[in-house]
Amino acid sequence: VILITDIHSDHMDPKAIAAIRKSNTQILAPAAVAKTVTEAKVLVNGETTELFGVHIGAIPMYNVQRGPRPGQLFHDKGRGNGYVLTVGGKRLYFSGDTEGVAEMRNLKNIDVAFVCMNLPYTMPPDEAAVAVKAFKPKVVYPYHYRGSDLKVFAAGLEGQGIEIRERKWY
C-alpha cells in the first residue's frame, strides 16, 4: 500500500512510486493527487477503507494561517490527506503537511504519531507540541522538520508521558 498525502513533489513522486510499486500495490490518495497518479484510488477527507487487513482513514491536513502570500494557503482544506491506520490493534497517525488543526487535536487512541513541523509550510515546533498534547499519542516521531529546533518540541511535551523518538530524516 502506498499512501500519498499531497500534490507537492516531496509527497508525490511518480518516479519513486514506479520504483517501489509491485503488481499488487494499492495506491490511496486525495483527488488532487489522482489527477497525476491516475492509478490511485481516491480517498477524501473523512472516508475510510480497508486494504490487506489494514483499516485506513483519511484525515484532513491543511493550513489555517500560513501561505505564500496574503489570502493564499500552502495547503487548502480538502486537498490533501493525513492518515490513521489501524493494524494489529495499533493506531498510527501520519499528519501530512498540516498545522495543528482541529481534526488532528481531536484524534483518539493514537499509539504512534508521525507529526510534521517546518516553517513556513506547516507549523513550528511549539505549535506542534500543543497539537500533540491535545491528542496524546503514546509515541511521536517528529518528521519533515528541516530547520526546526526539536528541543523546543521536546520541551513543549515535557511531563506529558508522550515518548518522543527522533530520527535523522535528512
Q: Report pLDDT for 153.
A: 98
Nearest to 36 by CA among 6, 75, 62, 60: 6
Q: Report pLDDT for 170.
A: 79
Measure the CA–CA gap between 46 and 113, rounded to whole angstroms: 18
Nearest to 141 by CA among 120, 105, 117, 160: 117
Q: Report pLDDT for 151.
A: 97
Q: Report pLDDT for 142.
A: 97
Q: Do strands 2-3 and 27-29 pair parallel, antiparallel, or not at all (unpaired)?
A: parallel
Residue 118 contacts residue 145 (beta carbons within 8 Å): yes
Sign of the C-alpha dihedral, residues 15, 121, 169, 160?
A: negative
Burial of 133 (0-12, 13-18, 19+ CB in 10 A): middle
Q: Report pLDDT for 168.
A: 87
Report residue 145 as a C-alpha cell.
Answer: 522538520
Q: Give average pLDDT by consecutive 10-residue segment, the chain, 170 residues.
A: 95 94 96 95 97 97 96 96 97 97 98 96 97 98 94 98 93
Measure the CA–CA gap between 51 and 3, rounded to whole angstroms: 11
Q: Report pLDDT for 94.
A: 98
Residues ≥6 apart with Cβ < 8 Å to 48: 55, 56, 57, 58
- Whether residue 120 has a cis bond before it, omega within 30° of 0: yes
pLDDT single digits (tens) 72-111: 999 999 999 999 999 999 999 999 999 999 999 999 999 9
